[in-house]
Amino acid sequence: MKAKARARSVEYAYVLVSPDGRMLREVATYCQDGLVRPVIDKVFPFAQALEAMELLEAGHVTGKIVIEMPANAAKDRHQPESE
């Protein structure tokens, strides 16, 4: 992992944390108030999930990659199969 990070000029650090409900509520408030927002690099339809992963692995992403699921995906998943 260190070699891959260095090859892409990526810096990282490990941080140990413990559960903190007060801090989580504070961060949730920041998100609700629009003070914390994700940076979305690109949105892909589910049919192009492979291309999304290839872009991510290529290291040319400056934000989040979003894969949109079809509107009926959750509904279809829970319906029993017809015989």
pLDDT digits (tens, 9 = 90+) for 35-78: 988 899 999 999 999 999 999 888 888 889 999 998 887 765 55
> Which residue is listed with tokens 């699921």?
69
pTM, entire model: 0.53
6 falls within a domain: no
Average pLDDT over residues 2-19: 78
CA dihedral 72, 34, 16, 7 (to 10 degrees): 80
Asked if the structure places residue 48 within a domain, the reply is yes
- Distance of alpha carbon 69 from alpha carbon 79, whole angstroms: 17
Whether the Cβ atoms of residue 27 and residue 36 lie closer than 8 Å to each other: yes
Instruction: Please check the confidence at residue 1 and state whether its pLDDT lies above 80.
Output: no
Whether 9 is covered by a domain: the verdict is no
Q: How many domains does the chain have?
A: 1
Query: 12 in a domain, yes or no?
Result: no
Q: Is residue 5 part of a domain?
A: no
Asked if residue 44 is part of any domain, the answer here is: yes
Place of tokens 């941080």: 15
| Span 20-36, pLDDT tens digits | 999 999 999 999 999 98
Q: How far is the C-alpha of 83 from the C-alpha of 78, rounded, in Å?
A: 15
pLDDT for 78: 58
27: in domain: yes
Instruction: Quote the domain boundaries for residue 56.
Output: 20-77
**Beta strand pairing call for 64-68 and 40-45:** parallel
